[in-house]
Amino acid sequence: MNPPIRRALISVSDKSGLEAFARGLTAKGVELFSTGGTRKFLEGLGLAVRDVADYTGFPEMMDGRVKTLHPKIHGGILCRHDNPHDMKSLADHGILTFELVVVNLYPFEATVAKPDVSDEEAIENIDIGGPSLVRGAAKNHAFTTIVTVPDQYEEVLAAINATGATTYELRRKCAGRAYASTGKYDQAIAAYFAKTSAGATTTTDEYPASLTIQLNRVETLRYGENPHQSAALYAEPNPPAGTLVGAKQLNGKELSYNNILDLDSALAVARGLPGPSASVIKHNNPCGAATSATLAEACRRALAGDPQSAFGGIIGLNRKVDLATAEVLCEPGLFLEAIAAPSFDDAALELLKTKPKWKANVRLLATGEFGEPKPWTEYRRIAGGMLVQTADSLPDPEQEWKVVTAARPTDAQLADLKFGWSVVRHVKSNAIVIAKDQMLLGAGAGQMSRVDSVGIAVQKAGDRVSGSVVASDAFFPFPDSIQALAKAGVKAVIQPGGSKNDPDVIAACNEHGLTMIFTGRRHFKH
């Protein structure tokens, strides 16, 4: 049964797209009912709107806390149109049917995200009537259509224009989305109370007893890591600025699962470097990175870090791509899968889309300007559950670093040590990074032994290793790695420290005239 849409109850905080939708409903003869600010908005458009208070006979009260919580509203939403008893109850009590309910909720999440929000303001932005309307209409989706977000307006109005009603399939789809919205809303409120209640500063209270994660599908992907796996990309409701999930694709084939993982890593490396910087990612590890006076030079040096691995790689940049940088990316002998940056100027975009042989396929993504680094929560699936932690996303407090050797770093070495320390946190542990002149020369990643990672990084750096610095994501358990690095020509080391063999490691550095900094903070990446 698809009841014709005769009446719509509209009460929304987000009024985007509402004008066209409401005008379309009125044009089809749908009678509009509304409250408060929404009613005034619709009346301001010159539309006929019936005030809910006039219909129920009860005025809005308690500063608007009580508006739609009334049997004449919920009876009209929850009635089963094919149930004679329900329809008799409506007739007995003078209740009208509402076949369409359009509701979005008070902006609780946006309110509590404000740095100076008071508890009183937060509490007043907890919607009561709205979720009740949404849940009631969603429960009765066999007869009632519930619309909770503006991007549903077009599809719902098209159905009404075509037949005067909506289909059961559309109503059920809308109901599912409605319950997702109220679930997300309740979770945000629960998180707020967990955070602000007395004693909520302990580690235990930081993580609620139960956890609901609300994500919105961005796109379905061709496949996952391998062709036999299915995959999709989801976004948080309000993702941070300058991230991949909100990026605009300007060119190329659709993104793959692996492309997205590598692009996210490439942007993470570039975002953490101070000046114009570029990073090159292969199989989710940096194989090139550099900071220079210009983005073009940074890009050239990042690609030169490991040219063999850079072929078919992913590029992340932390500045607008200009023509000079695009020319570097288009040089002969280079093939790139994807390039992500805050933006591209017109000349650079035109060159990348027309000059290289791979022009039609390369994915070009503009993320928008990067925001300030902020703490965020990281979720990782395991069989039967989920690991949750604060992400390793914030810069380290350099004032806590300590030079622990007789030799102290020069200004140039210190700049390279900072660069290497910024990059090594993005390399899979055990992680070793060799750098010089703020350029990644070699990385050893994902080895079971740290000394093996040292050997790989030295081999990647080759003859360029002389005079370089090394960053290690965790402590050196033995002096053997220091002996190997000194023999190769490394002059400075940065590492967390914390091994019981630290005195032996420091002694090995002093023996070879190396300088070493302890940061006091580990950066494992598994």
Candidates 15, 81, 139, 525; catalytic one: 139
User: Is the CB of residue 367 less than 8 Å from the CB of residue 244?
Assistant: yes
- Residue pair 279/270 in contact (Cβ under 8 Å)? The answer is yes
The three-class DSSP label of residue 465 is helix
Q: What are φ and ψ of residue 339, in 5° steps?
A: -135, 130
Look up residue 141 and give its two tokens: 């989706």
* Beta bridge partners of residue 494, listed in sequence order: 471, 517
| 475 and 499 Cβ atoms separated by less than 8 Å | yes
Q: What 8-state DSSP symbol labels residue 128?
A: S
Which are the contacts of 406, defined by CB distance < 8 A and separation ≥ 6?
Answer: 510
Q: What do you get for the CA distance between the two ends of the chain, in Å?
A: 54
Half-sphere exposure of 58 (CA within 13 A, CB side): 14
Measured distance CA(176)–CA(174) in Å, rounded: 5
Q: Is 139 a catalytic residue?
A: yes
* Angstrom distance (rounded) from CA 312 to CA 339: 11
DSSP track, 322-359: -HHHHHHHT-TT--EEEEEES-B-HHHHHHHHHSSTTT
Q: What is the β-pairing status of strands 31-34 and 145-147?
A: unpaired
Catalytic residue of the set 15, 173, 253, 283: 283
Q: 64: which 2 tokens?
A: 């608007």
DSSP sequence for 83-110:
-HHHHHHHHHHTPPP-SEEEE----HHH
Q: Which residues are annotated as catalytic?
A: 139, 283
